[in-house]
Amino acid sequence: MHELVEFAVEKALELGAGYAEARFEEKNGTSLAMKNGNPEGLSIISEKGIGVRVLVDGGMGFASTNVLTKESVAEAVKKAVKLAKAASRVRNESIRFSDEDFHRVSYKVKMKKDFRDVSPEEKMELLRKIEEEVKGTGVNVPMRYLGYSDQLWKKIFVNSEGAYVKSKIPRVSVMYNLVVFENGQMEQAPFVQRAFSGGLELIEKDEPWSWAVKDVQALKKLIYEGQKPPEGKVDLVISPEVAGIAVHESVGHPYEADRIFGREAAQAGESFVKPDMLGERIGSDAVTVIEDPTIPNSWGFYLYDDEGVKARPRYLIKDGIITEFLTNREYAAKLGQRSNAAARAINYNREPIVRMANTYLAPGDYSFEELIEDIKLGVYMVSFNEWNIDDRRYQQRYIGREAYLIENGEIKHPVRRPILEITTRALWSSVDAVGKEVEMFPGTCGKGEPGQGVPVWMGGAHARLRDIPLRRP
Amino acid sequence: MFDVNEFILKKARELGFGDVVVLGYETNRRQVRFANNEITVAKNWHERKVELFVELEKRVAGTSITELSEENIERTLKTLLSNMKGMAPKEDYYGIAEGPFEYRDIPETFDKSIVELDEPNEYVERAINAALEEGAKRVAGVLYTDHNRLYLTTSNGVEAFEEGTGIEISVRAFIGDLESGHGTNSVRILKKFDPESAGRKAGEIAKLAQNPEQGPEGKFDVIFDPLAFANLLSYMSFMTSAYAAEAGFSFLVNKLGQKVANEIVTIKDVGNMPNGYGSRKFDDEGVPTRETTIIENGTFKTFLLNTSMAKKYGTETTANAGLMMPHAWNIVLEPGDYTKEELFSEVKKGIYITNVWYTRFQNYVAGDFSTIPRDGIFLVENGELRPIRNIRVSDNFQRILEGIKALGKESYHIHWWEVRTPVSTPYVLVEDVGITRATK
């Protein structure tokens, strides 16, 4: 296949492109669903194709094809070059890419238990196990939607500046939506996902059924014992799961350089962060946020991005100070920097754009007991359902699913739907202590048009926020 | 492409499959994205693929085939067969529609001049200029042209073809960091395309939105612009699928025949809407698409169904297959009799929301959600508009439908990144909408 990828790049240069890259991607896998105990059917995923991106006279063009012949690829290259030329006429400034060191490399993530060797019925057993364990709790869960998915992603990336990156990354995930109905009341754990890069052994070891059991038991307890959360100014301890969504939404996204420069303005939005805010304080000393694609077996794993740049951990906030944005080559050049390898494309038919991978609140040195021991009145938010954030990533809201009252340093009864509605600056300035243990949670990060849902992890350590105006529904 | 479909059907039968649906696509899609008044990237997609659904003794499976050689087709079918053999059956599977059917062309869904359009950049420039003329400083957005051919063959005697086109634009205009507006235009034939109207609307709202103050919180009468209400109805469209209800993702669970909205509210799915961005002659099992009333004068009438789910519930398909998951084509909120001016004059003290995004649910079955206004937001007081910012709609879906107090008489067809199922809706006035904001 690499001959065809190299052919695409050569052809683009021949047709007048100043820069060209081609990316072959092949995805093979299986997905299964089970709805209220019924197997919903099997879906076999098998797709491949080539995407070509070029710069011509400072304009950018992209075309893709899933017909993998020389003629068809040549046709796609021709279209990309033509589109780039036409686009260059509606530009004020030429698009330029940062200078980078490129490599010829090949890497893969190994599977101990290769999901290709496992039959669909055996994979369905994983879902059946969730069914059985959930039923075994005796909690009434009338609606149960379960999903399993595995995919092997193979890629070959070549550009006109000497990059050649070949990779093979397997990804497995299980998700569930469980609706608990007890005592005339209903609570829900929707779209809960467990996901990894690697083999089936990672799902088996993670035991998604244990998470499901924990969820339905917590929801039952919430129904029977839940009380109103305290209102007004209290202390709030957020779990790694809640810290994860908060760093993803209010740190990761607004630090995406394409958003900062307005390229996403009509879709995924803009940012309150401006280029001159590097070095500015955004949170307390306790807050460090790291973005790291290289975490082994992570859901957002990669070692080279989709522009061929080598990945590394990126410190978005260090000790409360904005230290780095997420960049691709286009926006690294605008900032006068080198790319930090945040360019990702979800498939051969999508352009690489600036994306997160695994974003987390770095650990501090507090044990969980130390975090809560001097809280007189507060809330511990363990998981969340409803969440959203504005266009500029400044005004956000997270509503607790599982949450508890903290009183005089002790965890007490569950509380219903405590609402954290807060600005980004207030959120990160309120953190006065961070726990020792980091935990990660998977998600699908949406951005781009057409949409590119990319796998990410988000998480971190527990964090304590002081004097938070907590609300009730 | 029917030769490919027939080959797949023949081979599938030879292997012993029962129900078989072969849906072939040939698609040409072009995109021009723009930001800061210039084109950021232009793209082209050409795709040829077959979506395949097969059943084997109540076991169901699906895949898409992109490499359409006979060898690969046979290999794919054999893979499906061997994977399905050991699986447990889907006990609530009741088959696909019995064809053949007769189809009528839907007016204004195909236009050769879109197929032959060489270069769509001039439309982008027209939209940008319209927004700039209204006072915008920065304009961003996306334009698409579409040309699709569909070839459907089923084991129940269906052979159906349709060819469709479309062109659409979504434009967002900015003045400062906090002042923006949004407009869209989605049509199926070129002579109805009006990119300037999208640009102008975006620019006008941005201009009106200058120097916003912090918004209030509490309960307010809210006028939703069609762009904003389309977002909510697009989320609701998913919840009208019987599949979503069974899976625990719908506030309409167990509410058939009940009042779920104010009686002035009638909501339909119209699969055969002329010039509708989601219109199609037939659904995925070949049933001719139609108009289905989901909520009639406030009463919930039906979920959207395919043949199998309809049989399960002892009723008829609504022609919304999706073989696994029935889905809406074009959601329509029937307009009322208010002019835009009359609607605004109904509001003594309220809020006008021009757009929302990021609608998320605390509980799908209860319908509790929040969504964030984006672009211009205005306090409406005795006909005057005053720009505000930083508020959130926090409410319940059914309560919003029940609180609809007045509907504009003009309908707008909305389809963009945040409104994935096309929606036709007028301006909508809802009373006592929950508004919250961050206080720190």
Q: Which residues of A touch B59 (CB under 8 A)?
A: 39, 41-42
pLDDT of residue A438: 98
Least CB-CB distance to B39: which of A91, A264, A430? Answer: A91
pLDDT at A63: 97
Q: Are B61 and B54 in contact (CB under 8 A)?
A: yes
Bridge partner residues of B372 (DSSP)? B357
Contacts of B440 in chain A (CB under 8 A): 422-423, 426, 430, 468-469
What does the alpha-carbon distance between residue B214 and residue B387 come to, in Å, rounded to a whole number?
Answer: 9
Q: Rounded distance, CA A84 to CA A40, Å?
A: 44
Judged by a CB distance cut-off of 8 A, whether residue B228 touches chain A is no
pLDDT reading at B398 higher than 90: yes
Q: What are phi and psi of B228, to 5 degrees?
A: -75, -45
CA A104 to chain centre: 27
**Chain A neighbours among B 290-329 (CB < 8 Å)?**
324
What are the phi and psi torsion angles at A356 (to 5°)?
-85, 170
Q: Smallest Cβ distance to A262: which of B35, B62, B76?
A: B35
Q: Chain B within 8 Å of A351 (Cβ-Cβ)?
A: yes
Count of residues in chain B: 440
pLDDT of residue A232: 87
- Residue B52 CA to residue A149 CA, distance in Å, equals 19
In the predicted model, what is the mean pLDDT of chain B? 97
Q: How many CA atoms lie within 13 A of A24 on its CB side?
A: 21
**pLDDT tens, A217-226?**
999 999 999 9
Distance CA A281, CA A274 (A): 13
CB contact under 8 A, A385 and B62: no
Give A140's contacts (C-beta < 8 A, 6+ positions apart): A180, A181, A182
| Packing angle, helices B70-85 and B2-15, rounded to 10 | 40
- Among A206, A210, A217, A196, CA closest to A129: A210
Mean pLDDT to the nearest integer, A138-155: 98
Q: Are strands A454-460 and A358-361 parallel, antiparallel or unpaired?
A: parallel
Could you check whether the bond before residue B226 is cis, i.e. omega within 30 degrees of 0?
no
The Cα-based distances of A144 to A75, B335, B420 in angstroms read 47, 37, 26
DSSP string for residues in B29-78 = EEEEEEETTEEEEEEEEEEEEEEEEEEETTEEEEEEE----HHHHHHHHH
B170 touches chain A (CB under 8 A): yes
- Is A4 a residue whose pLDDT tops 90? yes
CA distance to partner chain B, nearest, from residue A176 (Å): 10
| CB contact burial A377-411 (16+ within 10 A = b; e otherwise) | ebbbbbbbbbbbbbbbbbbbbbbbbbbbbbeeeee
Question: Chain A: nearest CA to B253, how far in angstroms?
Answer: 11
Give B-chain residues touching A192 at CB under 8 angstroms: none
The per-residue pLDDT for range B140-156, each reduced to its tens digit, is 999 999 999 999 999 99
Contact flag A386-B369 (C-beta cutoff 8 Å) = yes
For chain A, give the mean pLDDT: 97
- Residue A128: exposure state from Cβ atoms within 10 A (0-12, 13-18, ≥19): middle
CB nearest to B374's CB, from A391, A422, A430: A391
Among A272, A174, A186, A190, which Cα is nearest to A226's? A186
Q: Are A223 and A185 in contact (CB under 8 A)?
A: yes
Task: Label residue B11 by pLDDT band (50, 70, 90).
Answer: very high
Contact A120 B84 (CB under 8 A): yes
Q: Do residues B431 and A414 lie in contact, with contact meaning Cβ atoms separated by under 8 Å?
A: no
Contact B331, B117 (CB under 8 A): no
CA distances from A77 to A11, A15, A61, B127 (A): 7, 9, 9, 28
**Separation between Cα atoms, residue B354 and residue B356, nearest integer Å:** 7
Cβ pair A92:B362 closer than 8 A: no
Instruction: Please list every residue in chain A whose beta carbon sits closer than 8 Å to the beta carbon of residue B308.
Output: none
Residue A58 forms contact with B (CB below 8 Å): no
Proportion of chain A above pLDDT 70, given as a percent = 100
Distance of CA B200 to the CA centre of its chain: 23
Residues A323/A328/A331/A337 CA torsion (nearest 10 deg) = 50
The mean pLDDT value for A7-33 works out to 97
- Chain B residue numbers with beta carbons less than 8 Å from the beta carbon of A264 are 35
Residues A84, B42: C-beta atoms closer than 8 Å: yes
pLDDT of A91: 94
Question: Which of these ranges, A31-35, B63-67, B377-381, has the smallest mean pLDDT?
Answer: B63-67
Residues of chain B found within 8 Å of residue A68, distances taken between Cβ atoms: 67
pTM above the 0.90 mark?
Answer: yes
Please report, rounded to a whole number, the percentage of residues in chain B having pLDDT higher than 90. 97
**Backbone dihedral angles phi then psi of residue B174, each to the nearest 5 degrees:** -125, 145
Q: What average pLDDT does this structure show over B321-329? A: 94
Mean pLDDT of B342-350: 95
CB B150 within 8 A of CB B25: yes
The encoded tokens of residue B265 equal 């509210």
Q: State whether B35 and A264 contact (CB < 8 Å).
A: yes
Q: pLDDT tens digit string along B171-189?
A: 999 999 999 999 999 999 9
Residue B86 to residue A93, Cβ atoms within 8 A = no
SS (H, E, C) chain A: CHHHHHHHHHHHHHCCCCEEEEEEEEEEEEEEEEECCEEEEEEEEEEEEEEEEEEECCEEEEEEECCCCHHHHHHHHHHHHHHHHHHHCCCCCCCCCCCCCCCEEEEECCCCCCHHHCCHHHHHHHHHHHHHHHHHCCCCCCEEEEEEEEEEEEEEEEECCCCEEEEEEEEEEEEEEEEEEECCEEEEEEEEEEEEECCHHHHHHHCHHHHHHHHHHHHHHHHHHCECCCCEEEEEEECHHHHHHHHHHHHHHHHEHHHHCCCCCCCCCCCCCCHHHCCCECCCCCCCEEECCCCCCCCCCCCECCCCCECCCEEEEECCEECCCECCHHHHHHHCCCCCCCEECCCCCCCCEECCCEEEECCCCECHHHHHHCCCEEEEECCEEEEEECCCCCEEEEEECCEEEEECCEEEEEECCCEEEEEHHHHHHCEEEEECCCEEEEEEECCCCCCCCEEEEEEECCEEEEEEEEECC
3-state SS assignment for residue B201: helix
Task: Record the tokens describing residue B232, joined without a space.
Answer: 């909510």
CB contact under 8 A, B90 and A469: no
Measured between beta carbons, the chain B residues lying within 8 angstroms of A270 are 174, 177
Among A residues 130-149, those touching chain B with beta carbons less than 8 Å apart: 143-145
Of B64, B246, B392, the CB nearest to A397: B392
pLDDT above 90 (res B439): no
Residue A253 φ/ψ region, left for φ over 0, alpha for ψ in the -120 to 50 degree band, beta for the rest: alpha
> How far is the alpha carbon of A22 from chain B, nearest alpha carbon, in Å?
14
Residues in chain A closer than 8 A to B40 (CB atoms): 60, 87, 263
**pLDDT tens-digit profile of A232-282?**
899 999 999 999 999 999 999 999 999 999 999 999 999 999 999 999 999
Q: Where are the beta strands (DSSP E) in B175-250?
A: 180-187, 213-214, 218-224
Q: Which residues pair with A207 in a beta bridge?
A: none
Report the pLDDT value the prediction gives residue A459, as an integer from 0 to 100: 98
Q: Which two tokens stand for residue A449?
A: 């048009």
Residue A184 burial class via C-beta count within 10 angstroms: exposed 0-12, middle 13-18, buried 19 and up? exposed
pLDDT tens string A299-326: 999 999 999 999 999 999 999 999 999 9
Smallest Cβ–Cβ distance between B44 and the set A79, A267, A396 belongs to A79
Q: Determine the residue of chain A that is closest to B361 in CA distance.
A: A386
Cβ distance of A269 and B374 shorter than 8 Å: yes
Q: Looking at residue B329, what DSSP letter applies?
A: S
Place of tokens 């008829």: B316
Name the amino acid, one letter, at A280. E
CB spacing of A44 vs B62 below 8 angstroms: yes
Assess B345–A contact: CB distance below 8 Å, yes or no. no
Nearest to B396 by CA among B251, B179, B294: B251
Q: pLDDT value at position A356?
A: 98
> Average pLDDT for residues B237-248, to the nearest whole number?
96
pLDDT at residue number A173: 98
Whether A124 has its CB under 8 Å from any CB of chain B: the answer is yes
**Contact between chains at A422 and B438 (C-beta distance less than 8 A):** yes
pLDDT digits (tens, 9 = 90+) for A426-446: 999 999 999 999 999 999 999
Taking CB atoms and an 8 Å cutoff, what residues of chain A touch B81?
none
pLDDT for the residue numbered A349:
96
**How are beta strands A59-65 and B38-56 bridged, if at all?**
parallel
CB contact A71 to B (< 8 Å): no
Helix (H), strand (E) at residue B160: strand B159-174
Taking CB atoms and an 8 Å cutoff, what residues of chain A touch B74? Answer: none
Tell whether A45 lies on the interface with B, counting CB pairs under 8 A: yes
Which band of pLDDT confidence, cut at 50, 70 and 90, is reported for residue B331? very high
pLDDT the model gives residue A473: 87
Instruction: Report pLDDT for B137.
Output: 98
Cβ separation of B362 and A417 shorter than 8 Å? yes
Query: Which residues does chain B have within 8 Å of residue A93's beta carbon, measured at their own beta carbons?
Result: 38
Question: Is any Cβ of chain B less than 8 angstroms from the Cβ of A57?
Answer: no
What's the token pair of residue B150? 């569909």
Which chain B residues are Cβ-neighbours of A66 within 8 angstroms?
A: 47-49, 66-67
- Parallel, antiparallel or unpaired: strands A384-389 and A395-400: antiparallel
* Residue in A177, A390, A471 nearest the CB of B372: A390
CB contacts, 8 Å: A97 with chain B: none
Does any CB of chain B come closer than 8 Å to the CB of residue A179?
Answer: yes
- Cβ–Cβ contact B361 with A under 8 A: yes
- In terms of Cβ atoms closer than 10 Å to its own Cβ (0-12, 13-18, 19+), residue A112 is exposed
